[in-house]
Amino acid sequence: MVGKSRVHIEGVRWLIVLLIIIVSLTGCSNKQETLMKAGDSKQSDSGTRMVKDAFGEVEVPIKPQRVAGIYLEDYMLALGMKPIVQWYHPWWGKQDYLGLTDVPLFDITGSLEPLIEQNLDLIILNAGIDEAGYQLYSKIAPTYRLPSDVNVNVAATLHTIADLLGAPEKVDSILKNYEQKVADAKVKLEAAVGRQTVAVVRLDVGGKPELRLFGLNNAYTGMIYKDLGLEPFPWVKGIEAHDVISQEKIPEFTADHIIIFPSDGAWDSKSNANAVALLNDPIWKSIPAVKNGHVYQVERSHWQSGAITANRMKIDDLLKILVK
């Protein structure tokens, strides 16, 4: 009986040892599998991710370093990233107000080859680029095109670009400062001009000189009505983006205040002399705003942008010219 008991005990011991080995091997296998999964996740996190843009899903770098933001350079600078190239158009010039003197120009009407040479990590396009153009940019680098509803909203655009640049933590302080400036200006403008009507006009200096009235939903100037509360001249409400003011309609252009800028160059540019001469026409001089000294000539480049820094500069202009 003693011998049988000893054999039984030894058998139990070996069974326990075997179970320990099996459990140990299973644990090692599970641990190795877990490490492998963690490694895969880390590799993915350090590379790219999928995001949804205006035309579908696009794979973008998580931390892009060399970025071209086509007509979005304002937002990039606000977020602390210098663009690799800057937008340029032969008719409209560049965004002079940004002071990007050492950043090469990218002519959006020409070849895309200059972008190829920049070895870009990411291209961000505004809503002015159609799907055919988007496909061409996409052949150069991962390309994100802003949805149209985002493109017309300063906060939404800033959030989107910050996310693409991997800097979402910077947005809140920037927006808080901007929104405070808007709120303060709105109160001052209301006190100064009340319901007096305001219109924004661009003097087109390329080709045939024309006066072009900017509409209520214009991406560049609509904010002066929607955000700052200025009263639009009635014609403004019927225009989506902008429309030419015909010579015959000028006598009926009775806005109380008119903000005007040239489409390119400066007011004293020799190339603009012919267009500026339109403002000496007796018909133009006969309208109320001109007679009352309420036509304000402003610098063009930030008035032809709807981005965050440009809007801050427009606010400064309005406070200077309308708040006495």
The structure tokens 């990233």 sit at 81
Q: Is the pLDDT of residue 29 over 80?
A: no
Q: Is residue 23 part of a domain?
A: no
Same domain as 287, residue 201: yes
What Rg do the C-alpha atoms of the chain give, in angstroms? Answer: 31
SS3 label, residue 131: helix
Task: pLDDT band for 39, please (50, 70, 90 cuts).
Answer: very low
End-to-end CA distance of the chain: 114
Q: Is the pLDDT of residue 16 over 50?
A: no
In this predicted model, what pLDDT tens digit does every residue of 223-277 receive, in sequence order? 999 999 999 999 999 998 999 999 999 999 999 999 999 999 999 999 999 999 9
> Which of 110, 131, 166 is the endpoint of a domain?
166
Same domain as 131, residue 233: no
pLDDT for residue 2: 40
Task: pLDDT band for 12, please (50, 70, 90 cuts).
Answer: very low
Averaged pLDDT for residues 124-138: 95
Same domain as 318, residue 189: yes
CA-closest candidate to residue 74, choices 182, 205, 178? 178
CA-closest candidate to residue 225, choices 203, 192, 199, 263? 199
> How many whole angstroms separate alpha carbon 242 and alpha carbon 192?
27
Same domain as 179, residue 137: no
Same domain as 156, residue 224: no
Q: Which residues contact 276 (CB under 8 A, 6 or more apart)?
A: 203, 205, 262, 267
Same domain as 141, residue 208: no
Averaged pLDDT for residues 17-30: 39
Q: Is residue 22 part of a domain?
A: no
Distances (CA, A) of 320 to 140, 146, 185, 243, 298: 44, 33, 11, 27, 11
Residue 236: CATH number of its domain: 3.40.50.1980
CA-closest candidate to residue 227, choices 147, 148, 321, 153? 153
Same domain as 306, residue 205: yes
> Which of 109, 141, 166 is the endpoint of a domain?
166
Annotate 154-192 with DSSP letters as a single string. Answer: HHHHHHHHHHHHT-GGGHHHHHHHHHHHHHHHHHHHHHH
Instruction: Tally Cβ neighbours within 10 Å of residue 8.
Output: 10
Q: Is residue 146 part of a domain?
A: yes
Q: What is the span of the domain harbouring residue 293? A: 173-322
Judging by beta carbons within 10 Å of its beta carbon (0-12, 13-18, 19+), is residue 224 exposed, middle or buried?
A: buried
Q: Is residue 17 part of a domain?
A: no
Judged by average pLDDT, the poorest of 37-41, 123-127, 155-159 is 37-41
Same domain as 202, residue 182: yes
Averaged pLDDT for residues 118-128: 95
> How many whole angstroms separate alpha carbon 216 and alpha carbon 228?
12
> Which of 166, 186, 214 is the endpoint of a domain?
166
Q: Is residue 278 part of a domain?
A: yes
Q: Is residue 16 part of a domain?
A: no
Same domain as 181, residue 288: yes
In this predicted model, what pLDDT tens digit does every residue of 103-120 receive, in sequence order? 999 999 999 999 999 999
pLDDT for residue 46: 55
> How many whole angstroms separate alpha carbon 167 and alpha carbon 196?
41
Averaged pLDDT for residues 77-97: 95
Q: Is the pLDDT of residue 180 over 50?
A: yes
Q: Is the pLDDT of residue 36 over 50?
A: no
Same domain as 180, residue 127: no
Q: Is the pLDDT of residue 9 over 60?
A: no
Q: Is residue 19 part of a domain?
A: no
- Which helix (H) or strand (E) element contains residue 221? none
- The count of structural domains within the chain is 2
Mean pLDDT across the chain: 88
In this predicted model, what pLDDT tens digit does every residue of 57-78 receive, in sequence order? 999 999 999 999 999 999 999 9
Q: Report percent pLDDT > 70 for the chain.
A: 86
pLDDT for residue 263: 94
pLDDT for residue 208: 87
Judging by beta carbons within 10 Å of its beta carbon (0-12, 13-18, 19+), is residue 76 exposed, middle or buried?
A: buried
Q: Is the pLDDT of residue 18 over 70?
A: no
In this predicted model, what pLDDT tens digit does every residue of 190-223 receive, in sequence order? 999 999 999 999 999 988 899 999 999 999 999 9
pTM of full prediction above 0.85: no
pLDDT for residue 51: 97
**Higher confidence at residue 95 or residue 19?**
95
Q: Is residue 216 part of a domain?
A: yes
Q: Is the pLDDT of residue 32 over 50?
A: no
Same domain as 160, residue 213: no
Q: Please, which residues bridge with residue 124 across strands?
A: 69, 144
Same domain as 154, residue 118: yes
